[in-house]
Structures are given as structure tokens and as C-alpha cells.
Amino acid sequence: MSAIVLQRPIDTAGAAEALHRLANRLYESGYMVSEAAGRAVRARDPIMLATLEAQATMVSRIAEEQHGHTRRLSTAKWKPEPTMVQSWKEAYATADRGQPNNAFFPYYTAVAIWCGFIPMPYGV
């Protein structure tokens, strides 16, 4: 398996600021980001569902690589998956039922951006 090499470290504050600017610019132009994501989920768009499923699978695989050995060797009866894995799986499950859950709209919005359902304005 090839390793992912980042050219520069991820700047969480910078990414959050860029997303905030994007949301503001889209809002100012009259485009509601969450509405586009919600419409795609309610319509059970196949691209949206496939991307959500792929993301849930990828996050699950990464968690297994990072924590799987420890979880399997644990003597505890209850061995929960990390919260992020549970969240992506539940976001996919609710989208597959066509019943969007407000708690998962950040996930739906991210996937809608990846799928190209949300137009990206120039200069963001």
C-alpha cells in the first residue's frame, strides 16, 4: 500500500476559515449549501450514496489499520468502533433510507462538494 505524502501540513484553522468564506459567498449569492446536500440525500442520488459509502469504508479501513490490533486483543466484551467511523456509517445509512438527519449535514455537505453538486465560486 502506498503512503500518502503531504507537501505541507494541514492547517485546520485555515481550512475552517476557507470553508466559512465559501459558505458566506454561496449564501450571499442566494445558494444554500445544506439545501443542495439535503436534496441529493432525499432523492437518494446514486453518486451521493456511492461516495458516502466509499468514505465510510475508507474511514473504517483507516481505523482498522490504526487501532484494529489493539481492539482485537482487548479483553473487553464491548469493542466499539471509533466515533468517526460510526458517524460516517450512520450518515450513509440515513442517506440510503432517504431520510437525512440534521446531525450529519456536515458529512452530506462535504460529499455534495466532492460530487460537484455544490458550485464552487471563483476565488474561494
Give phi and psi for 84, each to the nearest 5.
Answer: -60, -40
Cell output for 22 = 465559501
- 3-state SS of the chain: helix, strand, coil percent to 5? 65, 0, 35
Using the structure block, give the residue that is written with the C-alpha cell 473487553: 76
Whether 19 has a pLDDT exceeding 60, the answer reads yes
The answer to whether the beta carbons of residues 100 and 44 sit under 8 Å apart is no
Instruction: For residue range 66-123, list pLDDT tens digits in order.
Output: 877 777 777 766 667 778 888 999 999 999 998 888 888 888 888 888 888 876 655 5
Q: Is 64 exposed, middle or buried (0-12, 13-18, 19+ CB in 10 A)?
A: middle
Instruction: For residue range 46-58, list pLDDT tens digits in order.
Output: 998 999 999 899 9
Cell output for 51 = 461516495
